[in-house]
Amino acid sequence: MEIRKAAPSDNGAARDLVRVSLATFGIEADFDHLDRAIGLFGTFETGNSVELVA
């Protein structure tokens, strides 16, 4: 397994994972507001301290 820093190309997969996970609880993802940290995952605009991909 390789662990590396997240890249912009990881954003879609991260959003899909969260969208599907939340949907199992009947919750709609809000990547512009409530789930913004995931919405910006792997981008240069993210304020997240650590973003790792395995």
Residue 2 is assigned to a structural domain of this protein: no
Residue 33 has what DSSP assignment?
A: T
Residue 3 is assigned to a structural domain of this protein: no
Residue 29 is assigned to a structural domain of this protein: yes
Bigger pLDDT: 6 vs 24: 24
The total of structural domains in the chain comes to 1
Bigger pLDDT: 45 vs 42: 42
> Residue 6's pLDDT band (boundaries 50, 70, 90)?
confident
Mean of per-residue pLDDT scores for the chain = 88
Alpha carbon dihedral 26, 30, 36, 40, in 10-degree steps, equals: 100
Residue 27 is assigned to a structural domain of this protein: yes
Residue 25 is assigned to a structural domain of this protein: yes
> Residue 17's pLDDT band (boundaries 50, 70, 90)?
very high
Nearest alpha-carbon partner for 29 in 47, 11, 46, 45? 11
16 contact partners, CB below 8 Å, separation of at least 6 = none
Q: How far is CA 2 from CA 22, 27, 39, 45, 47, in A?
A: 26, 31, 23, 24, 23
**How far out from the chain centre does Cα 42 lie?**
8
Residue 16 is assigned to a structural domain of this protein: yes
Residue 47 is assigned to a structural domain of this protein: no
32 is in which domain, residue-wise? 9-41
